[in-house]
Amino acid sequence: MSDNFVDFEKLSEAEEAAASKPSRLEEMTKSIEGRIYDSFFVNEYGKIESVRAERYGMSFSVILLQVDSFASGARKAEGAELESFMKIVSDIVIKVIRNCDVAGKLDERRVLMVLPNTDYFGSLITLKKLTKALEPYTHKGDPHASVVVSQSTFPKDSVGYGELVNMATTRLHEIKTSFWEQKQLKTKLFWEVVALLTSGSLSGYDFQTFDAGGNSDFNMDYIGRINDAIIKEIIRNPDRRGVLYIGAKNISADLPILKTIKNMGRSSTKVFLVGEHVDKNADIRNAIAITINDPRVTEMLFTFFLTEHAAYALICKESWGETYNCFHTANPYIVEGLITKFQRDMYLQEQL
Amino acid sequence: MAETKYILLALKNDEDTSSITKGLKENALEHVVTNDGAKTMEEVIKRAPGVIICDVNIAGVTADRLLQMVKSNPKTASVPFVFIADKQTDVKGYRPGTDTILVRPFHWGELYGVVKQGMFIASGADAAGHIRGDLAQMSLVDLLQVLHFNQKEGVLTIQGDKHVGKIYMKGGQVFNATVAEAEKEKALYRFFMWPKGAFEFVPEPVNVPQKIDVPTGNLLMEGARLFDEFERDKDKFPRDNSLIKVNVDTATLPKGLKPAISEIIFLTKYYSTVKELVDHCSFPDYDAYTTIRNLIQRNILSEVKDTGGPDTDKLSIVTPAQAVRIKEQVIGKWGENLNVNFGRVFVASPSPALAKDFVAACSKLPDFRSPLDLKGGSKIEDFILGEIGAIRVYGDLDIAFYSVPCNLAMVPLMITFYPNLIGAIILMDENTATFGDMNKFKERIVTNRRVPVLNVAVANSDISAEQTANFKRLAAMKPSDELNVLKGGTDQKESIIKVLKAFMSHISATDFASSGGA
């Protein structure tokens, strides 16, 4: 073939090769793990997203993931082991986040995700998915890594991107030092957690154990009033998204809370009534009744309430002589953890 | 809807103020000068200005907040701002096309041009599709007919002497109406009684639920009938401020009474004046007045003329400036958007009986509402936890009183109700034994939320100097602090006004108002 002729076969091969080769831009912005960008890119993207969210009055969230140690804290996360584990983490992050989300490595042990147009609950769902996908590597076996994930949402937590990342970092620390993590409650089953929380004496900034019924300061009518106050809180803020589980042993037609729920009206908070048995004559409106065929349900009263602005969990486990050992907390991580465990262990829909 | 056209000047620099004032005087433009954000808001509330010239670094309230507050009030939402700054700056909520930022040094001619343009916007001459006017010139019937025939969709805002009301229209049909606490037909028919008032119709998508399903033609006919009959009978109706007394045991009344009669008799359990009964009755005002008059004529109710107390309209716990600061505090701490309509106040007490005494005292105030029945319908336990009442202070802002037990074991529950918290009142009496818990409780609130906490002693009468000193010592108060006392009997009303005024002044104090978020 003369040199004057263009060899189209070779040309198309060259084009294909060029197309398959990553562009300079892609090389610059992507790290070796695939669609995980570097810290410069994700931070720049986050800043733009914060301006966009402010301009259009929308929300967006960031999720921060940090790998701390291996072998249940016995080995520090570093070197080649950390590098190879970060590849697994990156693959999981890529699979869990949506196409519109952007993830980037802040440093050798931290990954930051920017989730556009995502509110508090949206970010919690991604966080739950992420935690669940990481379970095979964090709950048992090798490397049994200690991975902590936190989130923050614009505009609830702050108005600037930098403050938002700071807030997620602060929360990361709070989670690591929380008694949920310290007591390794995340690896336990729901009923084990309930037993642990109600069996001893716990006291902290936002959690406390107390006795109810019998001769104690709080009678069972008071526990009912707590549920009533929470429903009224939902009525005060009907547009705030949230979830409320009320465990009432058995849902009978004369359950006092039914009257308040009936008058609740339209609300963005999903209300679930949980019992071992639901009376057919019970007039349940504005709530979904859930039947759980487990006798342990009839031995306790519980309330799990989570919104963007408030969190509350109350567990009252029946003791002898119509007395109850109670635990309550306003810590959002514990409340969210209890809701997740409850949904998962009772085979309920994992929703927020 | 700016009827009054004056320029509000809020600058921190005296030199700027005098030079701009000179220019405004030369051009015969009416103006008012203030030098801090709170005073500016007070002026804005008193009388809506045509334009606000404001320094971005105004003392007291930030320019962002000032703009937010002005925008959130429907009466002043359209007032344009001219911000004066030392350098190029951003003002949050800045409305391109309405607001202007001028950077020092600026030429007077430039400012004058912007002010003139602002006054033009405020007069409504440029607003596309907006209809503005006064009911004195065009009656509400005519206006609604025009909107009905043209199948308009939007919100008609009417500014009366005391209240601002809204009528929502879709496809020419009236969907809903609201004024003060009234809505639906009751609110709509109330507008017919207004002889004058500025109105503005803004065409916009209406997303409110349809609460009026009567055809507009019928509404107009009924509104006109009620107006005529009200004008004819108004001299025969009992006076608004008259107290109403029930002469019979309501339980002995026969079943199946007319709904309006049943409702008025039911409301007498909660409200004592004619105005309160009419306001809270779901029937149109004319029907409510007629029902009360008929019941008086039948001797079931009796009218006690001249309430003897202060004029309810003049009785105000909160000054406009305080109301603005309180709203600012709620928005600043809790409002990522402006849909914040209440501020929460914890009423912590060692016994529900004290919370009940507090509600009983508050019920003497004109704007106080309680979900609980003080006349026996509610049990004492109902006062242990949850909302025990609310006072409406400014626009749509309520201050909700929320009873919480003074028990440290319940702190996690208290944290759950922190959203919208603006302060706490701790009640104590001579039987209080848990001052230790009470003081720790106070400390938790002050340190965690940085909101003011007021100790109030509940007593049947005046307390001695010795008792005062004892209360102060037990409640860990400074000797120089004033102890607020909630008294019973005839002094109850006066003492609750004093307590709440002291509390509101604490809440609106600058150091708390500016204490920021979480």
pLDDT at residue B358, as a whole number: 92
pLDDT at residue A1, as a whole number: 44
Return d(Cα A221, Cα B380) in angstroms, integer: 12
Which of A156, A232, A312 minimises the CB distance to B413?
Answer: A312
A328 shares contact with chain B (CB less than 8 Å): yes
B425 forms beta bridges with B347, B454
Closest residue of A to B448, CA-based? Answer: A205
Residue closest to B338 by CA, chosen among B38, B71, B44: B71
Alpha helices in B475-517 (DSSP H): 492-507, 510-513
Return d(Cα B505, Cα B319) in angstroms, integer: 9
Tokens of A36: 């995980």
Chain B residues lying within 8 Å of A56, measured CB to CB: none
Residue for token pair 């937010």: B68
pLDDT at residue B308, as a whole number: 47
Q: Looking at the predicted complex, does its ipTM rise above 0.95?
A: no
Q: What value does the mean pLDDT of chain B take? A: 79
Query: What confidence tens digit (pLDDT) does each residue in B340-389 have?
Result: 678 889 999 888 889 998 998 888 887 788 888 777 777 888 888 988 99
A298 shares contact with chain B (CB less than 8 Å): no
B94 shares contact with chain A (CB less than 8 Å): no
| Torsion (CA) B454, B459, B460, B463 in degrees, nearest 10 | -110
pLDDT at residue A227, as a whole number: 93
Residue B36 CA from chain centroid, whole number: 23
pLDDT at residue A24, as a whole number: 52
Residue for token pair 């154990």: A209
Question: CB–CB of B416 and A239 under 8 A?
Answer: no
| Mutation for A interface: B336, B344, B372, B440, most A CBs within 10 A | B336
Chain B residues lying within 8 Å of A228, measured CB to CB: 385-386
- What is the homologous superfamily of the domain B7-122 according to CATH? Response regulator (3.40.50.2300)
- Decide: helix, strand or coil at residue A158: coil
Question: CB–CB of A208 and B412 under 8 A?
Answer: yes
Residue closest to A204 by CA, chosen among A230, A180, A186: A180
pLDDT at residue B316, as a whole number: 64
Closest residue of B to A311, CA-based? Answer: B416
Residue closest to A256 by CA, chosen among A273, A243, A276, A269: A273
Q: What value does the mean pLDDT of chain A take? A: 87
Tokens of B444: 């938790």
Tokens of B375: 């006349």
A324 forms beta bridges with A212, A318
pLDDT at residue A126, as a whole number: 93
pLDDT at residue A17, as a whole number: 64
A313 forms beta bridges with A304, A329
pLDDT at residue B283, as a whole number: 87
Judge whether residue A15 has pLDDT over 80.
Answer: no
Alpha helices in B53-212 (DSSP H): 63-72, 108-122, 140-149, 184-192
Bigger pLDDT: A28 vs B255:
B255
Return d(Cα A74, Cα A9) in angstroms, integer: 59
Residue closest to B268 by CA, chosen among B244, B297, B296: B244
For chain B, residues with pLDDT lower than 70 are 1-4, 96-97, 117, 120-130, 137, 251, 255, 270, 305-316, 320-321, 331-340, 394-396, 509-518
- How many CB atoms are closer than 10 A to CB A188? 14
Tokens of A262: 């009936």
pLDDT at residue A302, as a whole number: 96
Return d(Cα A48, Cα B171) in angstroms, integer: 41
Burial B54-80 (b: 16+ CB within 10 A, else e): bbbebebbbbebbbbbbbbbbbbebbb
Tokens of B433: 């034994």
Binding-face residues of A in 56-115 toward B, CB within 8 A: 57
pLDDT at residue B335, as a whole number: 53
Class of the A12-175 domain? alpha beta
CATH 3.40.50.300 fits B320-513, yes or no: yes
Distance in Å from the first CA to the final CA of chain A = 69
Domains of chain A, by residue range, sit at 12-175, 186-345
Is the fold of B7-122 the same as that of B320-513? yes
Phi, then psi, of B18 in degrees rounded to 5? -70, -40
Contact B35, B59 (CB under 8 A): yes
B447 shares contact with chain A (CB less than 8 Å): no
Distance in Å from the first CA to the final CA of chain B = 37
pLDDT at residue B518, as a whole number: 29
A305 shares contact with chain B (CB less than 8 Å): yes
Closest residue of B to A238, CA-based? Answer: B339
Kindly report the nearest CA distance between residue A327 and chain B, in angstroms: 10
Which of B334, B339, B385 minimises the CB distance to A225?
Answer: B385
Bigger pLDDT: B42 vs A68:
A68
CATH architecture label of A186-345: 2-Layer Sandwich (3.30)
| Choice among A29-33, A220-224, B235-239 with the minimum mean pLDDT | A29-33
DSSP per-residue string spanning A187-226: GS-HHHHHHHHHHS--B-SSEEEEEEETTSSB-HHHHHHH
Which of B339, B407, B417 minimises the CB distance to A233?
Answer: B417
Chain A residues lying within 8 Å of B398, measured CB to CB: none
